[in-house]
Chain A
């Protein structure tokens, strides 16, 4: 049970946000319906959320692995199952999803060095964002450009927000996308 109301009939001031959600996700996710009690925050949080879940400077398939690793690292599991299915639908193997666990990603043959560098950043942000060492950034900068690194850091921290907000408000979204993503 969510902590606040789930808006089924949008008021005029959230209709545009529901429309954006329908176009992007195929339907209006429950998180968006719960945020809709506050049309202003619903609009900006939904827009940021939707911007993260698409191909960008970094491809969406890998971004889903980063999201899963982030939710694990911060121990907030809002829509974890939906992201697992999305990761597979976008072309990741079961091994690439499963090996994210614990420290398995460090030795798994299913990731590139570039991908491992990002998981190291995620883990360190989960432990203490103040202590991300130069070694972590040096490795990241070997593989990714500045625009990609801002996108990745924004993605990781967006899911710090989305994971905690969804969990705190008690929202469940078994599926985020009802449209085809592949």
Chain B
């Protein structure tokens, strides 16, 4: 059970209903994490606009942003985000084999990754672990492949997904039933690091038929 009730579409005010409509158009469903924000529509409206902006081709293409999302939310032990974005990434053409190599530093040697992707995944680790001290050689490699507008989009995407993953996890927002049959990729390769996240994952596996 999440810590606060979900605001269902029939109970939503005008602002929230507009957010739900946009979410449904973009993602074919209103996810639980949208529904829990219906208690504060004025915050929800501003918060979700960031994600509507990220989840499309921008100055950085959408599949590349999915790599950043998977990396940052995996490091944050967010089962809710990782599971949903494994599904999104595969729909966008990121194979499960490529996804699996995002854990740890596997991507540095994986044939599925370009030098540009390796640079921004290294950057992601630094933004998650210690944004105050990002080594200059990491920045030099990122600048080789991306311009300033793209770098802003890359860092904002990482930051936004740290935001939403902690927002949802703190509230105990539950994965929707539609994801229950999904065969996990990232957490199957490297289990969650925290005990609480490990319990969430075991509960999820108990709901997942074996392949």
B-binding residues in A (CB < 8 A): 3-5, 34-35, 37-38, 40-45, 47-48, 51-52, 56-57, 75-77, 121, 124-125, 128-132, 134, 137, 141, 146-151, 153-154, 156-158, 160-165, 167-169
Contacts and interface: CB of A to CB of B under 8 A. Distances in A.
Contacts of B76: 129
A167 to B, nearest CB: 4
Interface residues of B, number: 59
A137 B36 CA distance: 15
Interface of B: 3-5, 36-37, 39-40, 42-44, 46-47, 49-50, 52-54, 58-59, 76-78, 123, 126-128, 130-132, 134, 139, 147-153, 155-156, 158-160, 162-167, 169-172, 192, 194-197, 200
B132 A51 contact: no
B132 A125 contact: no
Nearest to A145: B39
Contact of B42 (A56, A76, A162): A56
Nearest to B195: A131
A4 B43 contact: no
A154 B151 contact: no
B156 A41 contact: yes
A150 B34 CA distance: 11
Contacts of B156: 35, 38, 41, 45, 165
B170 A132 contact: yes
Residue from B40, B49, B52, B196 having most chain A Cβ neighbours under 10 A: B40
A125 B40 contact: no
A43 B152 CA distance: 12
Contact of B36 (A3, A37, A150): A150
Contact of A169 (B43, B155, B192): B155
B43 A56 contact: yes
A131 B197 CA distance: 8
A51 to B, nearest CB: 4
A125 B170 contact: yes
A49 B148 CA distance: 21
Contact of A48 (B50, B131, B153): B50
Contact of A154 (B4, B37, B54, B126): B37
Given A4-B151, A45-B50, A129 B169 contact: yes
A44 B164 CA distance: 15
30 contacts: A4-B151, A38-B148, A38-B149, A38-B150, A38-B152, A38-B153, A40-B53, A41-B152, A41-B156, A45-B156, A47-B49, A52-B43, A129-B78, A130-B77, A130-B78, A130-B197, A141-B3, A146-B4, A150-B37, A153-B170, A156-B166, A157-B164, A157-B167, A164-B127, A164-B159, A165-B158, A167-B131, A167-B132, A168-B158, A169-B152
